[in-house]
Amino acid sequence: MRRKRVHLDANQKRTVGLINQPSLFLGLVIIFFGAMVLRLFWLQIIKGTYFSKLSDENRIRLVSRAPVRGKLLDRNGRILADSKLAYTLSIQPRLVNKNSWPELSKNLSNLLEIPIQQLELKYAKGVQSDPFRIILARNLSREQVIRFKEVEQTLHGSQVDVEIIRYYPYGTLAAHVLGYTQPITRAEFLRLSSKGYRIRDRIGRTGVEAAYELHLRGEWGGEMLEVDAIGDIQRSIGFKPPVAGQDLVLTIDLDLQRAAEKALADKKAGAIVAIDPRTGAIMAMASRPNYDPNFFSKPIMPQKQYDKLFFSSQLPLFSRAINSYDPGSTWKPVTAIAGMESGKFPADVRLSTAPCLKYGSHCFREHNGKGFGVIGYEDALRVSSNTFFYQVGVGVGSKALYDSAKKLGFDSLTGIEISFEESKGLVGNEEWAAKGRGWGEPGQTPWQPEDIASASIGQAVVQITPLQLARAYAVFANGGYLITPHLATFNQDWTSPEYRKKVDIQTSTLETVRRGLRKVIESGTGSRLTIDANNLPPSAGKTGTAEDSTGGADHAWFVCFAPYESSDIVIVAFAQNTPGGGSVHALPMARRVLEAWQNQR
């Protein structure tokens, strides 16, 4: 049976289309709202936490507040290092476009009296390098800051930031003691961020600034601010004040430090150390040449100045007070102790001096070219006889000499807080030579007779620091105790056995050396210390002239302690590569410090 085909006219077709349109529209609406629901589900449920965080970050700004670093004070409370505020003009590029910048720059230039060319240059460089903050001017004066604050609301996009910088009011004074701070490096930040350090932090780099970093630095604070869509601050939501670092009282005496620096002023290079032999408190420690630590507080350090400081042949960053040099005749008390303590050359021994004594292939001369006859320890120290101490040193051997030196703290770090910058020096001996002397192959650099002769008078194979020498002579000044030099008391009992140790030396040995050192000042090579200076207390000490084993000109040394019977101070003066003798160059340096100390008393 054939189906009958139905034919619809135009009106009928139009009627069917109208009937299907609601279904199509409904389908489209379902699809549209379904997509919206799925999108909302994705945004609110799947990514809700993420976008909530972004929203808060867009609305909330966290502003860090740097802590004020603790002050460094001298023993009398006078400020040696402080912090000060610095004001910086900057803009936020996202709030200042190319159209608004010309008018803003003109207003800033007129208001703050800054050349518009300078602002244009800073802006052009900043747009290319920093999309968040462009610094237009640093170190604004207080007047400029006040003027800016009065019309700040009309200078949209610009701001004055407050920065805290380290400040050393006396410039180069005690620079090697105080040290300096520098911005934290990325490697340091990754290592120290867990301890509260920030990427914009500064850290103590050298000296006391580095040694007492944790005590001085304080803790960061911050403020939570609510901002609108264009970045304007609406209100403060919360504030945690920064915790200032703790002040640190040093043992340094500003007056003595000034005297030491002045005494070094006419020397090419050198050092002066003044220490309390009873406790180890360092009252002055100066080194020349020096530098101004304020240089490192600059936000921008010119490359030429930076290179001049770090690559100078004069090594201004290098502290001579804790670097080692040939000590010359200031070493002779060490040889005297070795002779007496070994029993081979007792305290009452008398030896015949000579114009020259031969050891190995070299003839070692007496400094006066003829000798001093038959003398004992006290007169040998008084006239600084070379041939007397050659005989003692060669007679006891390198081990006894080394043991004597170790008792006085040589060939070791002193214990000072800045030991990370300190040289431990060198006291050569047979074992050291057999191992290669630090530069050769083991077994290829044997100990020679010439070595022990040189070591007996502090030459060639002996290197010590001025601080080590001060520590050693403190043993003669305080009755036989090896003290620990320090720059801050820091709640420590520096006279406790942990820091002040009795040296294993016989009383007769100690007294023999003390009497010899007293004769040096009374009638020997150091007699110029008290000439025309009736106000100075009775003192003891030793001069020294040392050949520079590196090939330079002679070094000049002088060390003294006073008052002789009950000493309160030990002074070491060192003039690097200054030929002419310790009594000529180093002694007057020490005398200036001794006079300043006496004036205080």
As a three-state string, the secondary structure of 394-445 is HHHHHHHHHHHHHHCCCCCCCCCCCHHHCCCCEECCHHHHHCCCCCCCCCCC
Q: Is the pLDDT of residue 14 over 60?
A: no
Backbone dihedral angles phi then psi of residue 139, each to the nearest 5 degrees: 55, 50
Q: Report the C-alpha gap between 368 and 427 in whole angstroms.
A: 27
Mind listing the pLDDT tens digit for each residue in 26-52?
777 777 667 777 766 665 676 666 555
Spatial contact of 210 and 487, defined as CB atoms under 8 Å apart: no
**Average pLDDT value for residue range 345-360:** 96
β-pairing verdict for 282-288 and 426-427: unpaired
What percent of the chain shows pLDDT beyond 70? 88
Dist. CA 197–CA 219, nearest whole Å:
8
Look at 177-191, 402-416, 453-467 and tell me which has the smallest mean pLDDT: 177-191
pTM of the entire predicted model? 0.84
Q: How many Cβ atoms from other residues are within 10 Å of residue 41's Cβ?
A: 12
Q: Which fold has domain 61-249?
A: Penicillin-binding protein 2a (Domain 2) (3.90.1310)
CATH number for the domain whose boundaries are 260-308+318-600: 3.40.710.10
Q: What is the pLDDT of residue 54?
A: 46
pLDDT at 544: 97
What is the tens place of the pLDDT at every residue in 534-566?
A: 789 999 999 999 999 999 999 999 999 999 999
Torsion of CA 76, 78, 80, 83, to 10 degrees: 130
Collapsed DSSP state (helix, strand, coil) of residue 229? coil
Per-residue pLDDT tens for 105-124?
899 999 999 999 999 888 88
Q: What is the mean pLDDT of residues 234-249?
A: 83
pLDDT over threshold 60, residue 4: no
Q: Can you tell me the mean pLDDT for 384-406? A: 97
In this chain, the answer to whether the domains covering 61-249 and 260-308+318-600 adopt an identical fold is no
Predicted confidence band of residue 228 (pLDDT cuts 50, 70, 90): low
The average confidence (pLDDT) of the chain is 89
| pLDDT reported for residue 445 | 93
Q: pLDDT band at 18, cuts 50/70/90?
A: low
Query: Would you say residue 174 has pLDDT above 80?
Result: yes
Domain boundaries, the chain: 61-249, 260-308+318-600
pLDDT surpassing 60 at residue 162: yes
> Tens digits of per-residue pLDDT, 67-94?
899 999 999 999 999 998 888 888 887 7
**pLDDT score of 359:** 94
Q: Higher confidence at residue 92 or residue 412? A: 412
